[in-house]
Structure 1
Amino acid sequence: MPRKFKQVDVFTKVAFKGNAVAVFFDADDLNDDQMQQIATWTNLSEATFVLKPTTEKADYQLRIFTPAQELPFAGHPTVGSAFALLESGLVKPNSSGQLIQECKAGLIPIDVGNDYSIKFRLPKPVIVDFAKDSEITSDTADALGITVEDIVEEQASVLVGPNWLVTKLKDSDSILNLEPNYSKVTALSLKYGVDGIQTFGEYPNVGDKIESRTFAPTTGTNEDFACGSGAGSIGVFINKTSKSKFTSAQVKNIEQGRKCQRDARIQVTISGDDVFVGGFAVSVIDGECIL
């Protein structure tokens, strides 16, 4: 039957400069195989399916699929789907300016700004530390085409739905110059049980600006154009590895996608033990899909 469909560009105000997500409405009648088949067909990093919530606490239920698998949570699909529902008039924020999304990771609070900026609190992370001289550091360097010395902090895997191997390099240019071997990234991901490598490096003399790239071939996407859960994992990593405890909220402005002809902007706020991820979105396709 015909059902409403939107394709939304996320973490940008300019169409075709962010990361697209396909949003399918009224998906309660679709089964798991159909959702996976549709997500694979879209050939986007993620497609989402909006269903009725199973709890009165939520405004809607969201299921999130990559071309290869379902995810319990993901960042840019959360922002894009919330924007698509708001723009379509299918949901409204409560008196506190908030929506509640139900997904397999639980209930996700989403703050909606007057300017339609959208910010979510990252699900509570599960963190696994790796020593700097461990085998995984050598494997990561080999997969990324760099040396062990180029990795400037001990790595950590951060599970927030997807499980990212967060890897910090010395600066933003080091990130932009990466030429990963995707076969080796795949082998590393399977060996250590992660969804991919989330890399980042700070801009020299600009304390709040970060360049990032996300490599996740096992999910069906070699390089993600803009990754909300990955950006949030960077915030978790920074909070954990900071030499001193932050006494006030810290805002990090993450840029992503420049090597893929994109210009995504993701804002990460670290407040106590919580990490918030936010940005803008814009619709590029609005119509019906025959399913």
Structure 2
Amino acid sequence: MTRYDYRLVDVFTEKAFGGNPLAVFREPGGLDAKTMQAVAKELHLSETTFVLKPSSASADHRVRMFTPDTELPFAGHPTLGTAYVLADGKDATIRLEEGVGVIRVTLRDGFVQMEQPLPTFTGTTITRKVAADALGLAVEEVRSDVPIQVGSSGIPFLFVPLANLKAVRRARRLGGLGANVYVFALSAERSGSDVHGRMFDDGLGIGEDPATGSAQGPLGAYLVAHDLVRVEPTTRIRVEQGFEIARPSILDVEVDKAGAAVTAVRVGGRCVPMGGGWLDL
């Protein structure tokens, strides 16, 4: 039997018990994928990560990340939280090899930021009525002036724009959309936030996610593309999430644009170290 230590960190928050919790195994040794998945199910956090030697010369570490039900090629809070743990919360630049490629993460004065893959978007046949029914809302609570779209920087999300904060709060995960659903409105609970969002997963074993970093790059690009925020060469957007499940989270998004093209997206936030533990396997 071998003892495997892990660190626990809350991501996208400045306060303990906020944000999205993450377990990071810095030295998982010879654990195979089946055991890693079993560990993630045992801990039952949104994600658990395992740090390995990189296979790419352009990376410092390789990271595998698991929800309770499946392995992911990329996710936001596991990327930031893992980098934070590896740097012991100190200023650093770390390159993490993930399923979508090498992700560059910087830590400066306690703020952790990653450069995400450029988002891609596709249309959908899901109508406002279908989306509203699946979310327990009236059709009028789904905006008609901007589209429902699928966006991805590695994990696809169905972005459903809602009319107001009340509609986001009322939304429920009734199923039937066959996708990870991100609902949002351009209103917020906290001063300084621009967007209030929620994410309901499909088959990841999460349910409602406290903070979905991998959705923020596509969300930011969507908001810029449809002129839903004040667009600048670098547009900064603050998103709040997790309030409905008592895990308030703040996610900061930057979108670079040249002409009509989005040229870069960055997502960041703060982390709170919570301690750690071990498993004997």
- Superposition TM-score, scaled by structure 1 size: 0.86
Shift of residue 136 of structure 1? 4.3
Which of 145, 155, 160 is matched with 2:148 structurally?
155
**1:104: which partner in 2?**
99
Which has the higher mean CA deviation after the structures are superposed, 17-26 or 281-290?
Answer: 281-290
Residue correspondence of structure 1 range 1-291 to structure 2 within 5 A = 1-87=2-88, 93=92, 98-113=93-108, 115-130=109-124, 134-152=125-143, 153-181=146-174, 184=175, 187-189=176-178, 194=179, 196-203=180-187, 209-242=194-227, 246-272=231-257, 273=262, 274-291=264-281
Which runs of 5 or more structure 1 residues have no equivalent in the other structure?
none
Distance 1:207 1:271, change over 3 A: farther
- Cα RMSD after superposing both structures: 2.1
Indicate if the aligned counterparts of 1:197 and 1:215 stay in contact, CA closer than 8 A.
yes
Distance 1:218 1:137, change over 3 A: farther
Indicate if the aligned counterparts of 1:200 and 1:234 stay in contact, CA closer than 8 A.
no
Indicate if the aligned counterparts of 2:65 and 2:72 stay in contact, CA closer than 8 A.
yes
Which runs of 5 or more structure 2 residues have no equivalent in the other structure?
none
User: Deviations 1:127-162 (Å, cap 9, x if unpaired)?
Assistant: 1023xxx44433221110113332212111112222
User: Deviations 1:14-69 (Å, cap 9, x if unpaired)?
Assistant: 11011101111222411111111111111111111110111221111101111111
- Match of 1:280, SS? strand
* CA distance in structure 2 between the aligned counterparts of 1:78 and 1:13, rounded to whole angstroms: 17
- Match of 1:77, SS? helix
User: Deviations 1:227-250 (Å, cap 9, x if unpaired)?
Assistant: 111222211211222279934211
The structure whose residues are more often helix, as a share, is: 1
Distance 1:251 1:139, change over 3 A: same
- Superposition TM-score, scaled by structure 2 size: 0.89
**Number of paired residues?**
271
User: Deviations 1:165-222 (Å, cap 9, x if unpaired)?
Assistant: 01111122221222332xx2xx322xxxx3x101111127x89611110101411111
* CA distance in structure 2 between the aligned counterparts of 1:247 and 1:116, rounded to whole angstroms: 26
* CA distance in structure 2 between the aligned counterparts of 1:83 and 1:253, rounded to whole angstroms: 20
Which has the higher mean CA deviation after the structures are superposed, 208-217 or 264-273?
Answer: 208-217
- Match of 1:20, SS? strand
% identical aligned pairs: 31
* CA distance in structure 2 between the aligned counterparts of 1:136 and 1:42, rounded to whole angstroms: 37
* CA distance in structure 2 between the aligned counterparts of 1:135 and 1:200, rounded to whole angstroms: 17
* CA distance in structure 1 between the aligned counterparts of 2:170 and 2:237, rounded to whole angstroms: 21
User: Post-superposition, which runs of at least 4 consecutive aligned residues in structure 1 deviate over 4 A?
Assistant: none
